[in-house]
Amino acid sequence: MAESTPSFENISRDLTSHINLSKGFKLWMGFLIVGLGVCLYAYYLQLRDGLGVAGIRDYVSWGLYLSNFVFFVASSLIGMLISGVLGMIGIKWITPITRIAEIIAIAFSAIAGLVIVMDMGRPERLAYVFIYGRFQSPILWDVTVVTTYFVLSALLYYLTLIPDLALTHRKIDKLPPFAGRMYKLLSLNWADKPEQNVIIHRSVKILLLLLIPSALAIHTVTSWLFALTLRPGWDSTIFGPYFVSGAFVAGSSAVIIAMYFFRKNYKLSNYLTDVHFNNMGKLLVLVSLIYLYFNINEFLVPGYKMRRADAIHLQDLLAGHNALLFWTVQIGGLILPIILLLFRKMRTPLPLMLISIAVFIGSWFKRYIIVIPTQEHPFLPIQHVPLNFKVYTPTLTEIAITMVSFFLVLIIITLLSKFFPVIPVYETANERGVKTTEIG
């Protein structure tokens, strides 16, 4: 494929060759759509019978749906870290990863909005949030910033994609003709003229500047859904940075998993090289260490003082009925990965991907640990209610409804990565010093 000095022709062929309707793609999409259909049936049951089909009850009234929402918002933050922060300070190796990070940001932030609707007792009253919205409520802030972040991420993805859309239009021949017209339409007659590049460059810069505060805002506000209450376990002043740093852990692992499968399925090993995996591995260690630091603060400080309500909560987490989950997540999803990733061998694609899966799953359960146990220990005792009010156990229906969000995210990621170059063609060529104007 790529020779020692690859031409633009070669690069663009490599990076657009995955745009086709392969059998594998059809099978995978078929699987996702069938899965989605089955899980949507569970949601229909919930609409018919009420939120009670889930395991949530009066005391633990926020369960899987809400912890899943937090996880989705968290995962979407990686777009800001990679494109925004690392991109703005001019780190070069991220070029082939930026678009993957943006795809993850778009998919997870879009579905986060849906996940929260699934948690509503009266989803048909969603419009009330806009009609009767009260700005004192953090939910209003959350709706505002999540929407903003999604729009910014989608714009950023699209603007940087425009040159590649024009290129794809010229390159592809394996798709039906209407697809060709679609690429042309979307490329807005881009023709690699200097003034066009200036416009894109400037707009992207503005978007990146806006992306950083809005990303910080979405997860800080999401953490405030908890931190603004008086409940032991949530009543914490460091929830904002604690959540943001945790978000980078979840997002980095998601990007690494995506990188691995794109590299393998789309044959991109010349572009997503071992160097990129090595660097992403280091990034994951860095953000995990920061998260570990916040974890120590979050548990050690109240644990040292042992105020009564905090003590009950911590005892349950560290040695009570949530202890197994707590320690598995903290050790298996955070401490062990940090230690393993210190070794260079572990930062090669396959081991890194496997470790990232552990981190990703750990991150999901970490949100569960943040959201649920606190509600099992309110200030006043839980008495005279059935057992399922006292201890939260998710139901199968609830798990299926939660799966809806994962199927949807996978569908968005699959479609975006399959039908548009998943690695920026022009930027890659520019970075390798290859002239881009030879075709046109």
Partner 1 sequence: MEDPHGKEKPQNQPETGKKNTSRRKFMKSLGLLGAGAVTGIAALESAHFFEKAKTKGGKKQILLTQDNKLVEVDSLEIKALEKSPGEQLQDAGRTGIPGRRWVLVVDLAKCRNARRCISACQEAHQLRPEQYHLNTLQMQDSPKTAPYNMPKHCQQCDNPPCVAVCPVDATFKRQDGIVLIDNERCIGCRFCIAACPYSARIFNWFDPRDAEKYKDQTYNVELNVPQKKGTVSKCLFSADHLREEKLPYCVSACPNSVYYFGDENEDAVTNGTTKETVKLSKLLRDNGAYQLMPELGTKPRIYYLPPKNRLFPFEPANDEQPEKS
What does the binding site for partner 1 look like in residue numbers (CB under 8 A)? 49-52, 56-59, 61-62, 119-123, 125-126, 128-129, 131-134, 136-140, 188-190, 193, 195-196, 199, 225-226, 228-231, 375, 378-389
To 10 degrees, the CA torsion angle through 232, 219, 73, 398?
Answer: 20
With respect to partner 1, which residue has the nearer C-beta, 89 or 387?
387
What minimum distance in Å lies between the beta carbon of 399 and partner 1?
A: 17
**Token representation of residue 385:** 């209610």
Residue that the structure tokens 């190796």 belong to:
93
Pick from 93, 94, 66, 61: nearest CA to 80: 94
With respect to partner 1, which residue has the nearer C-beta, 144 or 273?
144
What minimum distance in Å lies between the beta carbon of 187 and partner 1?
A: 11
Return d(Cα 58, Cα 50) in angstroms, integer: 14
Pick from 313, 277, 152: nearest CA to 218: 152
With respect to partner 1, which residue has the nearer C-beta, 193 or 267?
193
Residue 433 is classified by DSSP as T
Pick from 360, 414, 405, 386: nearest CA to 64: 405
Residue 60 is classified by DSSP as S
What minimum distance in Å lies between the beta carbon of 419 and partner 1?
A: 24
With respect to partner 1, which residue has the nearer C-beta, 291 or 426?
426
With respect to partner 1, which residue has the nearer C-beta, 219 or 276?
219
Pick from 291, 319, 292, 290: nearest CA to 303: 319
With respect to partner 1, which residue has the nearer C-beta, 92 or 308?
308
Residue-wise DSSP of 1-40: ---SS--HHHHHHHHHTT-S--HHHHHHHHHHHHHHHHHH
What minimum distance in Å lies between the beta carbon of 132 and partner 1?
A: 4
What minimum distance in Å lies between the beta carbon of 20 and partner 1?
A: 30
What minimum distance in Å lies between the beta carbon of 389 and partner 1?
A: 7
Amino acid of residue 242? Y
With respect to partner 1, which residue has the nearer C-beta, 69 or 266?
69
SS3 string of 73-91? HHHHCHHHHHHHHHHHCCC
What minimum distance in Å lies between the beta carbon of 125 and partner 1?
A: 4
